[in-house]
């Protein structure tokens, strides 16, 4: 048992510790904000100076090299022509300083500033802040085309399941060999073993609830592969894993699971349960001519156990996007 003096000392230590942590965070935030603002202003000056030249491209390159040498001699590292180009890109991507979110670091902004569309930049800024993504996580999301894989983009702050789901999902982090067959149980186990990465890839607002959740009815017992709760949509999300091609029996089964879950598990304040079939192969004919096509509670997404090359991934996304737009006219 702690004595009163030991307890008091422990409280004192924790209180001082918290002050130190908060003060350091405050210093870091102020330093980060100052750094971003200085880089933004440097980028602004470079762009404005470049725009006064008659031969912009050649003028800009020669100016940056000269400027880099001068700044490096005066201030040391951090001002090579590559970083000056990053500052230039930063300003061109975010031309209103007060719209810059200082929660993000310079490394985050270096990655986001390279993106060619404002909508993409806005998506990654918002998702990075909401998910507290590290710069490494942000880089993976950009490289795996997370923006393009999202079915639809939200309007303002209004979300629905289409805003949160992706197609396809990329599960290279599970460590399963895509060249060899795997069982649904092995896939499920790998997901649980890499749950944090799975949730990051799966989307915003998902929290793990259960694996092989047991549902008992008057006549039978059922086991649902994975159950999550989405706190944005305020609903349960059940996932059925399929290592082969999607068929009508799979669709009928998860439709039954949704109905059972709504009846037996859903709380009065919860929205209707959503079901997602994660499959290695998706027959678009079955999707089109099944209840998947006219129910907003039931979805099918393909998953990949490897990280495809950018061109392959773009082709997959484009095909899925065209089908999605045709089916939702």
- In order of 192, 207, 229, 266, the CA distances from 235 in angstroms are 21, 11, 6, 8
Locate the DSSP E strands across the chain: 169-170, 206-216, 221-230, 235-245, 274-281, 298-304
Asked which of 117-126, 224-233, 302-311 is least confident by mean pLDDT, the reply is 302-311
| pLDDT number for residue 101 | 94
| Whole-structure pTM value | 0.80
What's the pLDDT score for residue 55?
46
Give the best-scoring range by mean pLDDT among 59-68, 90-99, 156-165: 90-99
At residue 161, does pLDDT exceed 50?
A: yes
Are 205 and 254 in contact by the 8 Å Cβ rule? The answer is: no
pLDDT for 213 beyond 60:
yes
In this prediction, residue 61 has a pLDDT band, given cuts at 50, 70 and 90, of low
Determine the Cα–Cα distance for residues 30 and 37; give it in Å rounded to an integer.
10
Q: What value does the mean pLDDT of the chain take?
A: 85
Region 290-316: mean pLDDT is 81
Q: What are the CA-CA distances from residue 294 to residues 150, 151, 161, 320 (Å)?
A: 19, 16, 14, 17
pLDDT score for 159: 75
R_g over Cα of the chain: 25
Please report which confidence band the pLDDT of residue 29 belongs to, taking 50, 70 and 90 as the band edges: confident
Q: Is 267 helix (H, G, I), strand (E, B) or coil?
A: coil
Taking the CA atoms of 52, 45, 117 and 110 in sequence, report the sign of the dihedral they define.
positive
pLDDT exceeds cutoff 70 at 142: yes
CA 104: distance to chain centroid?
15
The band of 78, judged by pLDDT with boundaries at 50, 70 and 90, is confident
**Residue 179 CA, distance from chain mean position:** 27
- Which pLDDT score is estimated for 140? 94
């Amino acid at each position: 048992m702690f004595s009163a003096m030991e307890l008091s000392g422990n409280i004192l230590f924790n209180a001082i510790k918290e002050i130190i942590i908060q003060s350091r965070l405050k210093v870091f935030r102020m330093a980060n904000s100052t750094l971003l603002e200085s880089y933004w202003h440097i980028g602004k000056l470079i762009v404005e100076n470049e725009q006064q030249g008659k031969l912009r491209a050649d003028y800009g390159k020669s100016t940056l090299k000269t400027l880099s040498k001068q700044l490096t001699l005066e201030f040391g590292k951090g001002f090579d022509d590559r970083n000056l180009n990053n500052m230039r890109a930063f300003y061109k991507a975010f031309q209103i300083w007060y719209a810059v979110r200082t929660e993000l670091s310079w490394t985050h902004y270096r990655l986001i500033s390279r993106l060619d569309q404002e909508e993409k930049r806005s998506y990654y800024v918002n998702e990075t802040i909401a998910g507290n993504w590290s710069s490494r996580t942000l880089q993976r999301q950009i490289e795996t085309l997370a923006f393009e894989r999202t079915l639809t983009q939200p309007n303002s702050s209004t979300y629905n399941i289409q805003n949160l789901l992706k197609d396809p999902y990329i599960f290279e982090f599970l460590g399963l060999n895509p060249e060899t067959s795997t069982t649904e149980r092995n896939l499920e186990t790998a997901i649980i073993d890499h749950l944090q990465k799975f949730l990051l890839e799966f989307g915003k607002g998902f929290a793990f609830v259960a694996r092989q959740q047991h549902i008992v009815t008057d006549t039978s017992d059922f086991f649902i592969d994975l159950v999550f709760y989405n706190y944005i949509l305020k609903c349960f999300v059940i996932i059925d894993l399929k290592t082969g091609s999607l068929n009508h029996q799979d669709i009928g089964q998860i439709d039954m699971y949704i109905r059972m879950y709504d009846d037996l598990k859903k709380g009065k304040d919860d929205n209707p349960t959503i079901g997602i079939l994660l499959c290695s192969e998706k027959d678009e004919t079955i999707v089109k001519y099944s209840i998947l096509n006219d129910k907003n509670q039931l979805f099918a997404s393909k998953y990949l156990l490897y990280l495809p090359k950018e061109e392959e991934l773009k082709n997959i996304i484009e095909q899925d996007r065209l089908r999605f737009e045709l089916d939702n006219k």
